[in-house]
Amino acid sequence: MSYLCRMNTKHDIDQSDARVVGIARHVTWVGFWINAALGVLKVIAGILGRSSAMVADGIHSFSDFVSDIIVLIFVGISRRKANTEYQYGHGKFETFATMLLALVLGIVGVMFFIEGWEKTWSALHGGVLERPTWLALSMALASIASKEWLYRYTRRAGERIHSAVVVANAWHHRSDALSSMATLVGIAGAMFLGDQWRILDPIAAMVVSVFIVVVAVKIGRPAVAELLERSLPADVVEGMYRVIGSTPGVRAFHRFASRHNGNRMIVDFHIKVDPDISVVGGHHIASEVEHRLKEHYGQAVTATIHVEPYMGQTVDENNMCS
């Protein structure tokens, strides 16, 4: 007879998580349709308004489609309960999605830079650049206003539901606002400073690329660190040491290891207790340790605790031994 407790085998989502998924999907759909409109309008304005920077900016908005689709797919998956296949839950699906967002941003940034450099090089060697029109300039202003609003709206929602991928998508919106700002400067300079300054239009595309790559690195680095099983931040680990070591009945602890899984913190460690107490007593102490960790760091903490007898080992100020 097997005594293994049955785990959830369905892809269920708790009611609280369903609310989180609903919020994430709502803000993402809002961004999706705004990006659709901006992408079409900016490409049309760039072509009719004779601005290569605006066309590139429009392509950047189309790239947001990819990020929105990634969020819509992965944010629901990441909130599913643990099951026999993913016994620590599905949190790293969100981490993986965040890394994909960073990758998309990085690729778009490099493409912008290459295109801007080619046109700049051509202009420096006698190539003729067309003068942008008011249509392109007006579209740049509209893009800045709409994307900055979308960034603030999406980021507030992401922070409220503690979703890294939604916050990452907000930064994607901010990168589009920054690109439109650089586009605005390039178009205005090309329009009002004379023929020799039309080179500012492709230079603006190169400036945009730098902003985009910086944002890609900023949102991609934590995701890569999590996928590589990096430990929790040092201040969090130190705080957990104090919580564990100060729990009544814990004589010492060691072999502490930690990592993130999406928005969940996973910790594993051994506690040492009085060797003369019962198994039930040791279990109660371990349960109290887990309760205190959740009390300090939230219900998203998963603790695996091994109970051992204390045999007089030397401990530090946190009751940690070697």
As a whole number of angstroms, the distance between CA 285 and CA 79 comes to 30
More confident residue, 194 or 284: 284
Name which residue leads in pLDDT, 43 or 243. 243
Question: 3-class SS at 133?
Answer: coil
What's the pLDDT score for residue 17? 62
**pLDDT at 136 (0 to 100):** 83
* Angstrom distances, CA of residue 151 to CA of 30, 59, 88, 94, 97: 11, 18, 32, 19, 18
Domain 15-227 grouped into CATH 1.20.1510.10: yes
Q: For residue 315, what are the β-bridge partners?
A: 321
SS (H, E, C) 148-205: HHHHHHHHHHHHHCCCHHHHHHHHHHHHHHHHHHHHHHHHHHHHHCCHHHCCHHHHHH
Q: Can you tell me the distance from the alpha carbon of 206 to that of 54, in angstroms, rounded to the nearest whole number?
A: 12
Count of positions (residues) in the chain: 322
The pLDDT of 89-95, averaged and rounded, is 70
pLDDT, the chain, mean: 80
Give percent above pLDDT 70 in the chain: 84
Checking if the pLDDT of 233 tops 50, the result is yes
- 117 or 176, greater pLDDT: 117
Provide the sign of the torsion angle of the four alpha carbons 33, 47, 51, 137, taken in this order.
negative
Copy the structure tokens of residue 180. 């439109």
Q: What is the pLDDT of residue 280?
A: 95
Q: What is the pLDDT of residues 117-167, one digit of tens each?
A: 887 887 777 766 667 788 888 888 998 999 899 899 989 988 888 777 788
- Could you give the dihedral angle defined by the CA atoms of residues 127, 128, 133 and 137, in that order, rounded to the nearest 10 degrees? 20
Handedness of CA 24, 25, 27, 32 (dihedral sign): positive
CATH number for the region 234-309 comes to 3.30.70.1350
38, pLDDT greater than 70:
yes
- Domain boundaries of the chain, sorted by first residue: 15-227, 234-309
Domain 234-309 in the same topology as domain 15-227: no
pLDDT at 282 over 90: yes
At 308, which helix (H) or strand (E)? strand 301-309
* Residue 293 in this model has a pLDDT that exceeds 60: yes
Which pLDDT does position 9 carry in this prediction?
41
Query: Which is higher by pLDDT, 174 or 255?
Result: 255
Burial 277-308 (b: 16+ CB within 10 A, else e): eeeeebeebbeebbebbeeebeebbbbebebb
Q: How confident is the model at residue 2 (pLDDT cuts 50, 70, 90)?
A: very low
Q: What is the mean pLDDT of residues 89-112?
A: 78
Q: What is the DSSP string of 241-280?
A: HHHHHTSTT--EEEEEEEEEETTEEEEEEEEEE-TTS-HH
pLDDT per residue over 235-280, tens digit each? 999 999 999 999 999 999 999 999 887 777 889 999 999 999 999 9
